[in-house]
Amino acid sequence: MIPASVIEDLKFRNRIEDVVGSYVTLKRSGRNLLGLCPFHSEKTPSFSVNETNQFYHCFGCGEGGDVITFVMKTENLDYRGALEFLAKRAGITLPDDDNISQRGVGRQRVLEMNKCAARFFRDMLFDPEIGREGREYLMEKRGLSSAIVKRFGLGYAPNSFNMLRDHLQRNGFTREEMVEGYLCQVSKKNEKSIYDCFRNRVMFPIIDVTGNIIAFGGRVLDDSKPKYLNSADTPAFRKSKNLFALNYARNFSEDNLILCEGYMDVIALHAAGFQNAVATLGTAITPDQARLMKRYSDKVIISYDSDDAGRKAASRALGLLSEAGVDATVLKMSEAKDPDEFISKFGADKYRTLLSEGRSEFDFKIDGVREKYDFAVPEQKIKAAAALTREIAGYYSSVVREIYMAKAAKALELPLESIRNDVNRAMSKKRYEEKQKRRTDLVRDISGLSNKTNPDKAKNPKCTNLEEIVLGMMLSREEFLKRGCERLSSEDFYTSLNKRLFEFITAAYKEGGFDIGQLASEFGSDEISAAIKYKADRERMSVNTDSAFDESADNLKRECAMQKKKDEGGSDPLDTILRRRKEMKK
């Protein structure tokens, strides 16, 4: 464990408001700073940063932590990686960690191996004999210049089971590192043997915004399957949190970003001068990717394939980008299947004109409904009207609803008042369903049934609430931490999560000091968020005295002992049901 004094110094040099402020626009709200949460899509700020106590908490999704946790989550780093990130930012060096080798393959080691592999793939591409097929595909068939090939670091994986493996071994990388970094796989026939994951493919390095090669994508040169093979998640890479070519596009994203489906579409657009193009990594767009784009631009133009799959993917992308607060439009390329083909046929100027003709989210929805239903048939027209009114009812702004109701009425050739009446009925139904869901969620939350982070809460909500009070006070002030060490033991805690938190906190305190940032070394982000909520809840209370702590600790010891006694002796099922109903009513 990194000493608490080192972590304290690291956090002193990396104030949370400065670090978070480089990702989120924060505005003063009373004693705290507020902004849109980077971890879930929202339009009303619920992400709070506490400058005094140096932690953040989102009242929308429940995420919380300190500056270390924030860096871990936003930069997709492990605990040690986040500390190194902050140390580099502050211009200091971390002490050596003798235990790092015991925790498996680290992110930095994977990055070094990826860099070595990228050089190997590049050398193979330009090898006169080995790379001939790769060069023919990229430069002759796809028409890429050598400058573009070098700019994107493209390469070629030879049709061999061991050339990359042997190259990496010669450069000092181990079997475990190659497998963990998804460059080699373990043979099913012989578990002692490993072989290259990428074979006979042109290679696309995936580079993050800091210039690290974090993963690879590979495309076959023939019709074999799978057409594209992408790196699995590794200590250096999460495909749901990254975008291809964002390292270049972020410098040209002032007006907008162009979102594509594939590597070749992006490369073709960059070659034609559209350097603001990015692509998802072999999967449908994720909420994390939508929020990542929002960080660089408020407008995204979706330039997906023109087939049915592309239209469905565009519909999903529109929804997620809208949730993230991005103004998104969709291109209609009826004369080509994808951006690469469109530019090849018609040139960059016509594509530039196409960019200014993108359809809004609702126009795209109308086109989709028009393709699905025949407006000339009364029964289908009714279904089309129902589909559009449901869509309109989902918009919060009354102005937006009015505009879209007028568009729907015009498209369907129906009176505006008829559309408005149906939208109002759909909104009433939606409000009723949301009210019922909130009531159900509240009951489940009070009873602990919805708590996935600490599932033991449902067994005894009263005991768990006392644990949260005690831990919240211990996390808030050192005097309560000391008091907790003296008055309580781990046996006084009933739930598994809170018992682990107590054991970790008190052990760190006794060994030289506890800092909340140390939790990241042993606990997941959801568990840390729960601990931060305990702390935040207590700090909002007006009574945080020694006597309040002592009373809560004594009640916890008594309640926990009673519950454990019941567990050992068993209890009548009816008594359990009645007790839970009584607690839920409270």
pLDDT digits 0-9 by tens, 454-508: 788 877 888 888 999 999 999 988 889 999 999 999 999 999 899 999 999 999 8
Options 3.40.50.300, 3.40.50.150, 1.20.950.20, 1.10.860.10; CATH of 455-585: 1.10.860.10
Orientation of helix 4-13 relative to helix 79-90, angle to 10°: 50
Angle between helices 348-355 and 339-346 (to 10 degrees): 130
Angstrom distances, CA of residue 566 to CA of 459, 468, 560: 11, 21, 10
Phi then psi for 273, rounded to 5 degrees? Answer: 105, 0
pLDDT at 180 over 90: yes
Question: In terms of CATH architecture, what is 107-237?
Answer: Alpha-Beta Complex (3.90)
pLDDT digits (tens, 9 = 90+) for 406-447: 999 999 999 999 999 999 999 998 888 878 877 766 665 555
For 86, what's the count of Cα atoms within 13 Å in the CB-facing half-sphere? 30
- What are the percentages of helix, strand and coil residues in the chain, rounded to 5? 55, 10, 35
CATH superfamily, with its number, for domain 4-103: Zinc finger, CHC2-typedomain (3.90.580.10)
> Percent of the chain having pLDDT more than 90?
47
pLDDT band of residue 99 (cuts 50, 70, 90) is: very low
Q: CB–CB of 160/127 below 8 Å?
A: no
Pick from 101-115, 152-166, 300-314, 319-333 the range whose average pLDDT is largest.
Answer: 152-166
554 pLDDT more than 90: yes
The pair of three-digit structure tokens given for residue 1, joined into one six-digit string: 């464990």
- C-beta atoms surrounding 540 within 10 Å: 8
Condensed to tens digits (0 to 9), the pLDDT of residues 16-59 reads 999 999 888 999 988 899 999 988 888 889 999 988 888 899 98
Buried b (16+ CB within 10 A) or exposed e, 387-411: bbbebbbebeeeeebeebbebbbeb
Query: Which of 3.40.50.1390, 2.60.40.10, 3.40.1360.10, 3.40.640.10 would CATH assign to domain 246-359?
Result: 3.40.1360.10
With a cut of 50, say whether residue 177 has pLDDT above it: yes
**How buried is 578 (Cβ within 10 angstroms: 0-12 exposed, 13-18 middle, 19+ buried)?**
exposed
Contacts of 581 (CB under 8 A, 6+ apart): none
188-233 tens-digit pLDDT:
888 889 999 999 999 999 998 888 999 999 999 988 888 999 999 8
The model's pLDDT over 371-413, given as tens digits with 9 standing for 90+, comes to: 889 998 999 999 999 999 988 998 878 888 999 999 999 999 9
| pLDDT band at 576; cut points 50, 70, 90 | low
pLDDT band at 154 (very low <50, low <70, confident <90, very high): very high
Q: What is the pLDDT of residues 259-311, one digit of tens each?
A: 999 899 999 999 999 999 999 987 789 988 998 898 889 899 999 988 888 88
Most confidently predicted of 55-59, 105-109, 111-115, 425-429: 111-115
Q: In the chain, pLDDT over 70 holds for what percent of residues?
A: 92
User: How many Å is the Cα radius of gyration of the chain?
Assistant: 28
CA–CA separation, 390 vs 425, rounded Å? 9
Name the average pLDDT for the chain: 87
| pLDDT on residue 382 | 93
Q: Residue for token digits 């373990």?
A: 186
- Please give the C-alpha separations between residue 269 and each of 265, 285, 347, in angstroms, as whole numbers: 6, 19, 10
Q: What is the pLDDT of residue 586?
A: 66
CATH 3.90.580.10 in the chain: give the residue spans. 4-103
> What pLDDT does 452 receive?
65
Distance (Å, rounded) from C-alpha 86 to C-alpha 51?
A: 18
- Residues 74-83 have a mean pLDDT of 81
Alpha-carbon gap, residue 138 to 156, rounded angstroms: 10
DSSP 8-state symbol, 41: -
Average pLDDT of the segment spanning 137-161: 95
Q: Quick one: which of 263, 261, 216, 215 has its CA closest to 236?
A: 215
Report residue 490 CA to chain centroid gap: 34
pLDDT confidence of residue 27: 92
- Write the burial class of residue 231 (CB in 10 Å: 0-12 exposed, 13-18 middle, 19+ buried): buried
Within 13 Å and on the Cβ side, how many CA atoms surround 490?
Answer: 11
- pLDDT value at 157 more than 90: yes
Contacts of 129 (CB under 8 A, 6+ apart): none
Q: Which residues does residue 47 pair with via DSSP β-bridges, in sequence order?
A: 35, 58
Flag whether pLDDT at 114 surpasses 90: yes
- The pLDDT of residue 98: 44
Q: Which residues contact 66 (CB under 8 A, 6 or more apart)?
A: 11, 16, 54, 55, 56, 516, 517, 532
- Mean pLDDT is lowest, of 160-164, 320-324, 342-346, 351-355, for 320-324
More confident residue, 571 or 172: 172
Helix, strand or coil for residue 551?
helix
pTM as predicted: 0.68
